[in-house]
Amino acid sequence: MGLDANVIVIGPLNVLAKYDVLDYPIGYYEDVPFDNLVIGTITCAYTSDQSRELAEICGVNPWDLGNHQVKNPVKPSALSCEDYIGRDSQVDIYDTIIKLLDYKNVQIWYRPNG
């Protein structure tokens, strides 16, 4: 079975806009108060290899369906996988996750689709 995945984020509109992880252009949110919770996407993986690598960056097992909240991401240099996503993208994903996890009212989730 193939696997694709994405990493979603739930948090206040102003935070998600700051890190450019909104699912729609900011103009679509013009009637949404800046402190309202919205959903965004940090990144997507389209192949099984990319999805497994993304899970490793997120510090989760892709098939442990009860534990997909991202709490302890793994720094890309510590990864043992084969750079399917690409080194620069790994670092950007990791850095974005780390910055967003600094906010108490933000949750990040690895979402597999297999």
Any idea what DSSP says for residue 3? -
Nearest to 29 by CA among 18, 17, 41, 20: 17
The span from the CA of 91 to the CA of 101, in Å, is 15
Q: Which residues have C-beta within 8 Å of that of residue 1, sequence separation ≥ 6?
A: 114
The span from the CA of 67 to the CA of 73, in Å, is 13
Query: Which segments of the chain have a pLDDT < 70?
Result: 1, 78-84, 88
Structure tokens at 53: 């690598």
Residue type, 97: I
Alpha helices (H) along 1-114 = 13-18, 48-58, 87-101
pLDDT value, residue 88: 67
Which residue in this structure is represented by tokens 């993208």?
A: 89
